[in-house]
Every structure is written in structure tokens, then in C-alpha cells.
Structure 1
Amino acid sequence: MYTVLVIDDSASMRRIIKDMINGIDEFEVIAEAVDAYDAREKIKEYEPDLVTIDINMPKMNGVTFLRNLMRLHPMPAVVISGESVRGNDIFDDGAVGFISKPESGEPMSSFAARIKENLLNLTFLLKRYTQKKPNPMKTVTSAKAKEIDRKIHPDEVIPSFPARLGGSKVIAIGSSTGGVESLLRVFNGLTNDLPPILITQHIPYGFSKSFADRLNNSSKLTVHEATDGMILEKGHAYLAPGNMHLTIEKCSAGYRTKLLDTVKVSHHRPSVDVLFRSVNNVVGSGAMAVMMTGMGDDGSIAMKELHDNGAYTIAQNEESCVVFGMPAKAIQKGAVKDIVHLNDIAQYIIDFSKGKIR
């Protein structure tokens, strides 16, 4: 059963949508919200699998809320609105579906059919999203569950065997909360002649492919959702797929991707620590590591190893971060050479690739 949060300022429309969704096998409306701020609290409380969003709402319009949702808490969202003219635009903002509200004189059965068709077409995505989604409503009781929930050190997934001599240049980027929009801004400023770029962004399972496509469309680089065994190429970037660690290994052609379906590290899979340690093991001092906005401390352990091994490391500054957690932890550990504003990160990457900075 997939749970749904219905967001609409109209009580009658919420009731109509709720009844129609509850009439679909596999779907249940778990809560309703009257505006974006109410929705924010309901998402925290109920952790729904899907939200439906109206565009015309008080306090904050649905488009702004959708953009904020994709930036801070990416999850499946379907827009249900009378503004059909925005049908194409909302997909660029991160929606996975659009359903137009009934026009004057249109039978409700037609509206119900549109809702049913749209939601049933999304079950493949929802299955992927919910497959590994944690359920905060359940209390962890079993020893096995407690073991999975404990904080795993990167040593338990990938041993540290740092390369002392720098290999061919590789750039590794780690980010979490706020990273989606921040990465889009960085990639918009990059050129297509850079060394391979590897990215670990904490993103839910099922969303990494669409985010890789968004990065690709906003950049001169060719951006892929990483698959196992991809040869790293100049002018290309590789995004860790949701729910898989991204690492690299040496091969006859240089470097290639290696995905690991193992336990979470620092409560995350993909983990920045796993990516950074892999890059340190394989590339060593030839690498550049970039720590961007995010909550928690993922990446700080391996970034310190990169820094101590002679790699060039930078962190996003507090002013330009949505959450100054991951960069702050890396700075506190002495893992960062330069602290950089978001607007300048692209130029630092370009300068590193040309040998202007180390």
C-alpha cells in the first residue's frame, strides 16, 4: 500500500481527491494539508510515499513548494491543478506527474479516471522509492535492525590503502541537503574539457537518473547516472545511483566505476566517505575533493585522508550552504585547504584541472 499526502487549500477538493485515491487499489491517503507549511509538518510526521500538490495555494504557491521539496526532501510529487498551462513546466521543477482538475461541466468520473491512470503509471517508481525507504513510524527492536541502524565506519565497507603518488586527475564531489540545486548551479558553470567528475549526492532511490538528466541538460559536460564498469572519460561526470555506493578502480583504460550494494556508511548509501576513500585509494594526490552543503558528517573521514595524502580539498562556505553540516565537519577535522562560496566552486574546479591551484 502506497501512502499519499493530499495538499490543497480547498476542503471540498481535498475530500474529492482523497475519495478518488482511496478507491484505487494499492493507494491510501494518510493525511491532508491545507498549505505548504502544513504540508511540511505532515511530511515530517507521516513520511508519505507520494504527495499531490495544488499550484494555487495561500502563503506559498505550489510551484515554490515543489521546488523547495525537491531541494530539501526529494520525493515523488504529482501536481493536481487547474493551471494546465503549467503542465510541462512542473516536470522541470521535479514533479513526476500532472493531473488537470475538472473543467466546468466535466463529469467527476473523468477526473477520477485521470487520477487512477496517473497514479497506476507511477507504481514502478513508487516501488523503487519505497523499497529501501526507512520507516520512522516503526520502532527498531530486533538485534538485526539495530545492527543495520548503527553508524557504520567506512573501514567496514572499503579498506584504506591510499595511493601515495598522484594518478590522472579526478574530481570527487559530495553533497546532501540543498545539494540538488547547488550542484545544478555549479555544473552550469563548468566547461566540457575537465577531468572525470564523480558525484555522491544523498538522494532517494529512484530519483538519481532524473537528477543526472537534469545535470546533463544544465551543463556542457555529459552527465551519467553511474552504472557498474563505466570507463571514466574526460568531459564526463558520474552520479552515484540512489541506494548504491559509487567507487572507482584501476583498469587497462585508466579508471572505471565500481558500484557497491553494501551497508550504509554514516547512515547513507551512497556515502561520500566511500566515494572519497575510493578516490584516495586509487588516485591519491592527483584528486580534487569538493564538500558541499549537507547535514551530518558524511565524507569528513575520507576527506581528511585525501587532504593528508596531498589531494586538493575545498569546502562550500557557510554563507552559501543550505545546511552547513558536512562542510563544517570537514573543516573542523582539518580536511579542507580552501573554503569557497558556491558561486566560485565551478571556477576552482576549472583552475584545478588546468594546474593553476593545488
Structure 2
Amino acid sequence: MSKVRVLVIDDSASVRQTLVSILSADPDIEVIGVASDPFVAARRIQEEIPDVITLDVEMPRMDGITFLRKLMSQRPIPVVMCSSLTEAGSETLMQALDAGAVDVILKPRIGAADFLAEQADRICDVVKAAAKARLGARRSARSSTDPAQKLTADAMLPPPRPRAMAHTTEMVACLGASTGGTEALRTVLEVLPANAPGIIVVQHMPESFTAAFAKRLNTLCEVEVKEAQDGDPVLRGHVLIAPGDRHMMLERRGARYHVSVRTGPPVSRHRPSVDVLFRSAARAAGANAMGVIMTGMGDDGARGLLEMKEAGAVTVAQDEASSIVFGMPKEAIGRGAAQKVLALEQIAREIMAVDAAR
């Protein structure tokens, strides 16, 4: 397998050095160059086209968002944005995702090099996922090796009992996504009507970014969207998004559902984890739940979706043609977890159809 060739663009010499060190340590990644600003980067791209670019937002002469838009209009290349851990930075990164960035790496304004070093595994995973992204028509693919041994949802809660819950009057839809999921979730949620069933979402996303993501979706959707807080009820017409760096689980009190937001070890190398959400739905809701696994690299959610299916839930996987990265859905399909495989544009309609059939 050929290595993922990366160009690092950042005006901070220490950040460039740290990213080069992290990425070069991965045997599947090769750093082909660095640039201190977009103008230097543009000249470097003319010499050799990278598979992935890591791009800082705040740079001299031209900001990262402007460069990203120019790049996507002229020579689309998968881009991972890198910016500070601030609320304003999160809003800016939402613009970056709209402009075509595949994913984000967040860093603090102080001690960025040390922070990035602590996030080495995630950074390498994000870059390798970006290399598999489908830009425009989104049709390119790389093979990838399975990640190292990782924790399962057993780390957070025990397995469900198959078909432990009969149908009731309310349905809850659980959606899980990773790379490319911000765009995919917006496509689904913005067409749902205000009377849609309660929806809970795990999107692999760094801490302090999910609030801005939820706030922005709320301005686009008829349903109410918010970052989940521990104890929030799951209500019709409302969407709860798991906060970054916290697991979210569905729990039941009598005939009502609410969410539990907790810390804990990364599961399937993620926190929040789709496997944790899906297992909790299998345990708490059973046949009253619907599980949807969407675009993303790796296998987080595949086990959980199968557990939901075995508990009587309706299960759906996004199809390859509409997935930016067909990793998580492919794994779920391969395990027999998905009852239906649907294009992204069909998922919202399916959610409403399942709800109407109850």
C-alpha cells in the first residue's frame, strides 16, 4: 500500500515541526513538504500534489479559509483544518467544513505543540481518513489496515438482552457518523419536519466544537438542535448531539427517554463513541429505536448497530455512493447489521416512514 503523502501548512514553526514528527512516525504516512503560508504552499503543490493537506486557519498574507476555497475551486485536495480551541475558532471551522474541509484538528493557543503531541493517534487517524475522502463526486478509495486492538462498548455498559423491549408509542432515532458526517448530518436534519421523532446523534468531533455545530444546525433546521447535557429528555422535534470528549447514552425512565452524558475511556478509539450510543439504545429502547450509521472511517458503530438489530430496532447504513468515507457503513453492512442500505438523501424520509408505521 502506498503511503499517504501530506503537505503541512502552518505559520508556526513549532507546530510544523510537531506535526511533521507525528505524521512521519506513522508508517503509512509520508510528509512531502511544509509551508509557512498559502503562497509557499501553492508553489509546493505545483511541484507535487499531496494526498492530504493540513491547513492552519490563521496565517499571514492569506487566511486558511480563503486558500481552502481557492483550492477547492481549482484543484480539490482533501484538507484537514487546524485551528485554536476557541468558540470563535469553532465558528470559523464550521465555515471551513462548508468550504470543503474534510475534518478538523483543534489546538490551544498556548502549548499547541505539546497538545498536538498528546493527540498523535487521532491526528494520524484523521489524516488517513482524509486520504480516503471523496471530493466533488467523492470517488476515490485507498485500502487501510485495521486499527490496533481497542476497547469495545463493554467499557461503558453491558451488552443488551435481545428483544428485551416491546413496541411503545414513541420512537427514538440514533445517528452515528465520523469523517464527512457534518455535511451528511446537515443533509438529513435540515429536511426533517418539526414533528420528527426524537433524534440523538454521535458525530466524532473534538471538544468545544460540538456546541458550535449544534448551534449552526439549529439555524438551518425545523427541528430544534442542541448539544446534549446530562439528563436532557429525548423529545419529538428535538435533536441532541453528543458533546465532544463525552460519551452519550440513551436511558429510559418509565415511558420517557433521556440521555446520560459521561466521561469514560475511548471506545473503538473514540469519545463519544457510536458503539456506546447504539448499545445503550438497544438496551433502553429495543424495538422502539432506529439506528443509522453514516459516513466515516473505521468500524465504530458496526457492533452497536448489530446489537440494535438483534434487539428489534430498525437499522440503516448509508450507501457507498453518497458516503464521503465508506468505512463505518461498510463494516456494519459486512456484519449483517443493516436491514437497509440507503443513499444519504433517502435517510430522512426513512426516519419519518418508520415513525409513521408505528
TM-score, normalised relative to structure 1 = 0.68
Q: Aligned residue for 2:23?
A: none
Once residues 354 and 183 of structure 2 are traced to their aligned partners in structure 1, the CA distance between those partners, rounded to angstroms, is: 23
Say yes or no: does 1:169 pair with 2:171.
yes
1:191 aligns with one of 166, 172, 193? 193
Structure number with bigger Rg: 1
How much does 1:75 deviate?
4.1
How much does 1:35 deviate?
3.4
How much does 1:245 deviate?
0.6
After TM superposition, what 4+ stretches of structure 1 lie above 6 angstroms from structure 2?
54-57, 66-69
Output the amino acid matched with 2:193: T
Once residues 132 and 185 of structure 1 are traced to their aligned partners in structure 2, the CA distance between those partners, rounded to angstroms, is: 34
Deviations, residues 94-125 of structure 1 (Å, cap 9, x unaligned): 48xxxxxxxxxxxxxxxxxxxxxxxxxx749x
1:241 aligns with one of 236, 239, 243? 243
Deviations, residues 236-270 of structure 1 (Å, cap 9, x unaligned): 00001111111021225711110120001111111
Once residues 180 and 195 of structure 1 are traced to their aligned partners in structure 2, the CA distance between those partners, rounded to angstroms, is: 20
Q: Aligned residue for 1:81?
A: none
Q: Aligned residue for 1:158?
A: 157
Once residues 116 and 199 of structure 2 are traced to their aligned partners in structure 1, the CA distance between those partners, rounded to angstroms, is: 29
Once residues 91 and 269 of structure 1 are traced to their aligned partners in structure 2, the CA distance between those partners, rounded to angstroms, is: 20
Output the amino acid matched with 2:287: S
Q: Aligned residue for 2:69?
A: 63
- Judged with a 3 Å threshold, the aligned counterparts in structure 2 of structure 1 residues 29 and 335 are, in CA distance, closer, same or farther, namely closer
- Judged with a 3 Å threshold, the aligned counterparts in structure 2 of structure 1 residues 209 and 137 are, in CA distance, closer, same or farther, namely closer
Q: Aligned residue for 2:36?
A: 32
How does 1:50-199 map onto structure 2 within 5 Å? 50-52=56-58, 61-63=67-69, 73=80, 75-76=82-83, 93-94=95-96, 123=109, 130=115, 134-136=119-121, 150-162=149-161, 163-167=164-168, 168-199=170-201
Once residues 199 and 180 of structure 1 are traced to their aligned partners in structure 2, the CA distance between those partners, rounded to angstroms, is: 11
Deviations, residues 283-302 of structure 1 (Å, cap 9, x unaligned): 00111111111101111111
Once residues 167 and 79 of structure 2 are traced to their aligned partners in structure 1, the CA distance between those partners, rounded to angstroms, is: 36
The CA RMSD measured in Å over matched residues stands at 3.7
Q: Which moved more, 1:161-170 or 1:272-281?
A: 161-170
- Judged with a 3 Å threshold, the aligned counterparts in structure 2 of structure 1 residues 229 and 131 are, in CA distance, closer, same or farther, namely farther
Q: Aligned residue for 2:347?
A: 345
- Judged with a 3 Å threshold, the aligned counterparts in structure 2 of structure 1 residues 134 and 165 are, in CA distance, closer, same or farther, namely same
- Judged with a 3 Å threshold, the aligned counterparts in structure 2 of structure 1 residues 230 and 337 are, in CA distance, closer, same or farther, namely same
| Structure 2 spans left out of the alignment, 5+ residues | 1-7, 18-34, 86-90, 98-107, 124-147
How much does 1:184 deviate?
0.9
Deviations, residues 179-236 of structure 1 (Å, cap 9, x unaligned): 1111111112111101110000111122111111121112111001011111111100
Once residues 339 and 55 of structure 1 are traced to their aligned partners in structure 2, the CA distance between those partners, rounded to angstroms, is: 46
Once residues 347 and 75 of structure 1 are traced to their aligned partners in structure 2, the CA distance between those partners, rounded to angstroms, is: 35
How much does 1:331 deviate?
0.6
